[in-house]
Structure 1
């Protein structure tokens, strides 16, 4: 594979990976405007975010078997078409309940891109490069939180929140054309992967009973829930508690993404000296320490805008180190049913995200505490799950180790 092809594939796969986050980040600054236009509350608007997470979570379980049965491109065509149609429908919505439902369906379309891009990493690149490729995908993914809320804030302030969904429609069309024209079909359809419920459930069970998978995938999902808590709670905290406007919020969100994305890229350098397993251990420990310092500061009302941004930066940096390594370690034991494994991993992640965003939406009073408590709690629970799960793994398979020795499913 030439360097040009290598980086072209990274760009396309990264853009597909970024579709769902971009669809989230870009409309966050519009929460107050949506609440005003649709005659509802900011807490009710946050349920559109919960609906999106639920759609992503359920859709990943749907697309996993489809990607293994039909190959990668046909399900992508279907999902991106659904995404485009529902994005257009969101432009013309007139009440909050309709927007919640449409966002859920839009997520069902977007998650085809999420699951396919993760599975295609396993298809297209040498297994020993997986952690590196995931970090590069995180770099492309990083464009989303750095650009989307800033652009979303400007677009909302100038043209209204509906213009955000016009832009998302255009992005969906561009990605569909890129998939049709330039993305290879990396996996031949395999009809041995049945679409009947019983074999699908059996496939999922065969994945989740693998100790290395359930340890790193569940730990990763719970740790990553801290990011979803931040995404769900940040519009209220920055725009209601600290009273910044949409554009300033966009810039703050973009700055904080540097911690998350910068850490994922620094991870590439750290991988030269340390194994993924060691990086995960240090990142999870640091995350829980930062989380409880943050919780203490929130409980005692010590937080101001600057300290909040600083502690969020540290917390998100820990996730940036942990996430690509836990993804790589979760998928390392699998080859044949990588699509099912990546779908299940994503469903766990988004399921936790939807749960924590629903919890945060229950709090109408402007306060930092619900978000910070959720973040600290997710970090603590992730450490407990990791500690208990590690005891069930006989030998951790790092990417590139023992893959040819029969330790695959």
Structure 2
């Protein structure tokens, strides 16, 4: 059983990681991109915002389509679009063209974000789903560790354009992986009742489900703080604190390691204590740590060690939040898992893009605006957790495993 879990997690995690790899790998180059294309900090950060907007909106399409035609065809289409857009990014000569191509690249990457979660729901629910989701995130989360380091090496050898050639090759490898290692999990019988009309009705059902939306936005605001860090940390850690691109990559990877490691405990802890109590505890701890970090900067602190250390702890708690609330949100909507996964991904990405855009208005290269945005995300997630889950102290989804 473990080998089957690991194989599926490896395949789905690698597919999910292709889009984030296109973010994390070029983070060390953001200051260089600004200098190369003559763009200000805000304009360079817009390449991230555009990517997150499109990767969010694109999931609204891929989810229902995967319910209608199966999981594999839209994966092929998305990866092909991602490949072509990546090549265009590598050839871009001005910041406006790069922003537009990053938007198209995000549309392609959206397939790899929405569909693997639906595959998890096709196969499992409850603690078993949390276990597979955590293993998937173990593979997926290797990207924030390896991608910046790989990006630093590629940038040193080829400049920032080389990053986009590398991710284009990764997308081609992803298409080969879909062809050879991923079985179709959406049967013909399950597709019969799926159509554009059923997708619209499905979105209507989901948008009226307060519990689903509450869980989605818990994850969205928890992740929004990370997106703010994603956009601001290259300028804060490299320009303000004076780290080299390689040192920045190591610092960034440290937080990802905390996220990865803690995520592996969600399955065992969920079985022992229940997914709802686990979510409550982890979100509360994350919010308290981020509130402490914000207080430190508000009173005038400015030590890199404090920033890295406290965010390491917050990332560890976040690693238990994201897979847990994702499983809880999808558990009651197995019949429209692709649509539900798509809406969840869209709302979370749009929330993250909005957070990046808002904090970007106040960005000055110093830590306080970034930390304030990160803390606001964590504290909003905390408030939503106690609103959404206050009447479900011991709820644990029923487990189901499809052979």
State the TM-score, normalizing by the size of structure 2. 0.94
Per the TM alignment, residue 127 of structure 1 is displaced from its structure 2 partner at its CA by 5.0
**CA distance in structure 2 between the aligned counterparts of 1:395 and 1:316, rounded to whole angstroms:** 24
Give CA-to-partner distance per residue, 1:111-167, whole Å, 9 cap, x none.
101111000011134654100001101110121011000111121122200111111
Residue 264 of structure 2 is aligned to residue 238 of structure 1: no
- Number of the residue aligned with 1:407: none
Q: For structure 1, which segment, 122-131 or 89-98, has the greater mean C-alpha deviation from structure 2 after superposition?
A: 122-131
Comparing 67-76 with 272-281, which one deviates more in the overlay? 272-281
Q: Which moved more, 1:267-276 or 1:114-123?
A: 267-276
* Structure 2 equivalent of residue 192 of structure 1: 193
Post-superposition offset of 1:390? 3.0
Give the SS at the match of 2:7. helix
2:41 paired residue number: 42
Q: Which residue does the alignment assign to 1:52?
A: 51
For residues 278-357 of structure 1, the aligned pairs below 5 Å read: 278-357=277-356
Tell me the CA shift for residue 279 of structure 1: 1.0
Using the TM superposition, give the Cα deviation of residue 358 of structure 1 relative to its aligned residue in structure 2, in angstroms: 1.0
CA distance in 2, matches of 1:69, 1:24: 30
The 2-side partners of 1:356 and 1:345 are apart by: 17
Q: Distance in 1 between matches of 2:243 and 2:300?
A: 19
Q: Does 1:380 align with 2:379?
A: yes
SS at match of 1:362: helix
Deviates more, 1:183-192 or 1:166-175: 183-192
Q: State the alpha-carbon separation in 2 of the partners of residues 86 and 80 from structure 1.
A: 10
Partner of 2:173: 174
- How far residue 4 of structure 1 moved from its aligned partner, in angstroms, is 4.1
Tell me the SS of whatever aligns to 1:285.
Answer: helix
Q: Tell me, in whole angstroms, the C-alpha distance in 1 between the residues paired with 2:176 and 2:339.
A: 26
Structure 2: how far apart are the matches of 1:168 and 1:154?
14
Q: Alignment partner of 2:349: what SS?
A: helix
CA contact (8 A) 1:332 1:398 kept: no
Counterpart of 2:65 in structure 1 is 66
Q: Offset of 1:191 from its aligned partner?
A: 4.5
CA distance in 1, matches of 2:299, 2:6: 48
CA-based RMSD: 1.9
- The alignment status of 1:96 with 2:100, answered yes or no, reads no
* Contact 2:21–2:143 (8 Å) recurs in 1: yes
How many residues are matched? 399
Q: Distance in 2 between matches of 1:127 and 1:268?
A: 9
> How far 1:362 moved relative to its partner?
2.0
> Partner of 2:139 in structure 1?
140
Q: Distance in 2 between matches of 1:185 and 1:387?
A: 38
Contact 2:79/2:108 (<8 A) preserved: yes
- Any conservation in 2 of the 1:56–1:110 contact (CA below 8 Å)? yes
Q: Look up the SS of the partner of 1:351 in the other structure.
A: helix
**Which residue does 2:396 correspond to in 1?**
398
Check whether the contact 1:147–1:254 (CA below 8 A) recurs between aligned residues. yes
Distance (Å, rounded) in 1 between the aligned partners of 2:332 and 2:124: 15
Q: Which moved more, 1:160-169 or 1:185-194?
A: 185-194
Alignment match, 1:159: 158
Aligned partners of 2:11, 2:166: CA distance in 1, in Å?
18
Whole-Å separation in 2 of the counterparts to 1:157 and 1:267:
38
Provide the C-alpha distance between the structure 2 equivalents of 1:301 and 1:243, rounded to a whole number of angstroms: 19
Structure 2 unmatched runs, 5+: none
Which residue is equivalent to 2:357?
358
1:282 Cα deviation from its structure 2 partner: 0.9
Q: CA deviation at 1:245?
A: 1.3
Partner of 2:122: 123
- C-alpha deviation, 1:219, in angstroms: 1.4
**How far 1:201 sits from its partner (Å)?**
2.9
Residue in 1 that maps onto 2:272: 273
| CA distance in structure 2 between the partners assigned to 1:272 and 1:387 by the alignment | 21
SS in 2 for 1:271: helix
1:10 aligns with 2:46: no
CA spacing shift, 1:377–1:194, aligned 2, 3 Å: same
